[in-house]
């Protein structure tokens, strides 16, 4: 449905490059046409390239009080770029069809993404994530795995700087289906089912928020306990001795926020396909192309799988009781309440 329009826009970009001399630089051939495109997806591609390049260049420069390279720039942009990409669709719809835009599926899903981004940005901020001295602890362990300097630079360029940034772009790609559908003369206004879906997305964000707060409360109390214990002002408390949060939502899933995060984006992909009647065609080739709208959310699930494996390996080596907790508690998908109780282990 919308893939053909994208192909036409991409062919136009390629045509601009082919019409130029062999020495025409990348900026005039691709970047400028992309940022001048009326197609919001093509425009987002241009933004994504600039941000990816900025992330890579920034990672080459020693920063912070320690004057060392930092590889968490994508982490700082993780909650911001999907919001930006979705707002481009809303802005384009407002410019082309203002009467439709104010009551459209594109607007409502973009609002849910905005709420998602606001929650994640706040949580990252209060954990001091935007400080140039702060870096995701997992990168240190990945650097030990990729010890060769040349391979690390390739990994930094390909995976950290560009792959992750384009993954964030791919997560919002399904909005193009909603955008094209809302722009169609056959478009119908949102129904009760659409409003229920938006509430469902907001519920997922709420659960993530609760999980974030429980994690934050535990870590705050744990470090207060460690300080009090050091000053001989605290009795032994096994809740904090074990070192990791294991109560509340974390007694049903070791990563409840990861579960909601993956479900949030996968749901948007499926909803966009369903709402736009994307697969209402007998063309196998067209259906194959339309399946690309699922690539972002499915890739995110794969990425989270390996990221969770790494994080849990680190936790198991750091906290002696984590393996026991893991054996009694569902990994990602919430299940029956865990029977893990550190107070009964001593």
- Specify if 21 maps to a domain: no
Q: Comparing 33-47, 153-167, 323-337, which segment has the lowest mean pLDDT?
A: 33-47
The domain in which residue 76 lies consists of: 38-187
Q: Are residues 174 and 206 in the same domain?
A: no
> What mean pLDDT do residues 245-264 have?
96
Q: Is 236 left (phi over 0), alpha (psi -120 to 50) or beta?
A: beta
Q: Residue 277 and residue 302: Cα distance in Å, rounded? A: 26
* 11, 189 Cβ separation under 8 angstroms: no
* 273, 293 Cβ separation under 8 angstroms: yes
Q: Are residues 126 and 70 in the same domain?
A: yes
Local confidence band at 139 (pLDDT 50, 70, 90 cut-offs): very high
Residues 85-120: pLDDT tens digits?
999 999 999 998 888 888 999 999 999 999 999 999
Nearest to 254 by CA among 196, 322, 180: 322
Longest pairwise C-alpha distance within the chain: 76
Q: Residue 240 and residue 221: Cα distance in Å, rounded? A: 8
For residue 320, give both structure tokens. Answer: 């002696």
Is the confidence at residue 15, as pLDDT, over 70?
no
- Specify if 243 maps to a domain: yes
Q: Residue 317 and residue 322: Cα distance in Å, rounded? A: 8
Angle CA 178–277–172, to nearest 5: 30
Q: Are residues 214 and 284 in the same domain?
A: yes
Is the confidence at residue 185, as pLDDT, over 80?
no
- Specify if 255 maps to a domain: yes
> What mean pLDDT do residues 277-303 have?
78
Predicted model pTM: 0.88
Give the CA-trace dihedral at 91, 169, 304, 116, to 10 degrees.
-10
**Residues in contact with 126: Cβ distance below 8 Å, sequence separation at least 6, in sequence order:** 216
Q: Residue 306 and residue 323: Cα distance in Å, rounded? A: 17
- Specify if 4 maps to a domain: no
Q: Are residues 100 and 178 in the same domain?
A: yes
Q: Are residues 180 and 235 in the same domain?
A: no
Q: What is the DSSP string of 290-346?
A: HGGGGHHHHHHHHHHHHHHHHHHHHHHHH-TTHHHHHHHS-SSS--SPP---GGG--
Q: Residue 64 and residue 62: Cα distance in Å, rounded? A: 7
Residue 303's pLDDT is 97
For residue 32, give both structure tokens. Answer: 């400028």
Give the end of a domain, one of 147, 167, 187: 187
Q: Are residues 127 and 198 in the same domain?
A: no
For residue 260, give both structure tokens. Answer: 């909601």
For residue 58, give both structure tokens. Answer: 């920034």
Q: Are residues 139 and 277 in the same domain?
A: no
Burial class of residue 32, CB neighbours in 10 A (0-12, 13-18, 19+): middle
> What mean pLDDT do residues 269-275 have?
92
Angle CA 19–292–281, to nearest 5: 100
Per the structure, the count of domains in the chain is 2
């Amino acid at each position: 449905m919308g893939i053909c329009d994208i192909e036409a826009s991409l062919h136009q970009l390629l045509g601009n490059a082919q019409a130029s001399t062999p020495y025409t630089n990348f900026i005039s051939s691709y970047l400028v046409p992309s940022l001048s495109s009326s197609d919001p997806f093509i425009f987002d591609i241009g933004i994504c390239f600039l941000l990816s390049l900025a992330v890579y260049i920034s990672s080459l420069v020693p920063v912070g009080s320690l004057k060392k390279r930092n590889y968490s720039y994508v982490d700082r942009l993780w909650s911001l770029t999907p919001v930006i990409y979705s707002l481009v669709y809303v802005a384009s719809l407002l410019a082309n069809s203002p009467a439709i835009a104010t009551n459209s599926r594109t607007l409502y899903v973009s609002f849910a993404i905005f709420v998602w981004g606001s929650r994640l940005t706040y949580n990252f901020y209060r954990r001091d994530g935007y400080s140039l001295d702060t870096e995701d602890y997992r990168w240190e362990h990945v650097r030990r795995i990729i010890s060769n300097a040349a391979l690390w630079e390739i990994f930094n360029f390909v995976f950290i700087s560009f792959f992750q940034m384009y993954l964030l772009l791919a997560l919002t790609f399904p909005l193009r289906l909603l955008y094209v559908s809302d722009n169609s003369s056959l478009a119908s206004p949102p129904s009760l089912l659409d409003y229920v879906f938006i509430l469902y997305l907001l519920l997922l964000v709420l659960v993530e928020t609760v999980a974030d707060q429980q994690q934050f409360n535990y870590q705050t109390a744990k470090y207060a306990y460690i300080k009090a214990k050091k000053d001989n002002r605290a009795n032994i408390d096994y809740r904090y001795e074990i070192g990791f949060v294991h109560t509340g939502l974390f007694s049903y899933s070791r990563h409840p926020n990861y579960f909601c995060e993956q479900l949030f984006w996968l749901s948007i992909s499926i909803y966009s396909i369903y709402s736009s009647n994307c697969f209402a065609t007998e063309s196998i080739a067209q259906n194959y192309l339309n399946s690309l709208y699922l690539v972002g959310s499915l890739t995110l699930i794969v990425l989270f799988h390996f990221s969770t494996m790494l994080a849990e390996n680190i936790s198991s080596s750091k906290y002696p009781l984590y393996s026991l907790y893991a054996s009694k508690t569902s990994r990602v998908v919430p299940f029956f309440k865990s029977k893990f109780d550190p107070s009964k282990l001593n």
